[in-house]
Amino acid sequence: MTEDSIKIIGFHAHVYFDTTSYEAAARVREGLDARFDVRLGRWHENPIGPHPKGMYQVAFAPEQFAKVVPWLMLNREGLDILVHPETGDDVKDHTEHALWLGEKLELNIEFLRAISARTA
């Protein structure tokens, strides 16, 4: 598959938090839910999958990107947020194709590679 032919079927934003930033994460979540057509994932208070700290996922359609991401840029309350496309290549989506708001956290990419190897 060439880069030109990659099709983005959706986007995920992973909003990271810890015990001291939980309330800020809740406010961001409430703002997203009230303003946009998004699917909010479960709260994960501990690291899960490739994610190094607690987070919740926000899934949204490509048509929502131009609304959701600028809102997150201005309203992230100091939280670190990973935004990535869904192209079918989880490793590239979380690395080469990703954008970060705030600090770029170190993801466990080996976790994604192991999953990709099992499904290939």
**Using one digit for the tens of pLDDT, what is the confidence trace for 82-105?**
999 999 999 999 999 999 999 999
Q: What is the pLDDT of residue 76?
A: 98
Q: What is the pLDDT of residue 116?
A: 72
pTM attached to this predicted model: 0.90
34: nearest Cα among 67, 77, 80: 67
Q: What is the pLDDT of residues 21-37, one digit of tens each?
A: 999 999 999 999 999 99
Q: What is the mean pLDDT of residues 50-72?
A: 97
| Burial zone of 98 (CB within 10 Å; 0-12 exposed, 13-18 middle, 19+ buried) | middle
How many angstroms separate the CA atoms of 64 and 51, rounded? 24
For residue 4, how many other CB atoms are within 10 A of its CB? 5
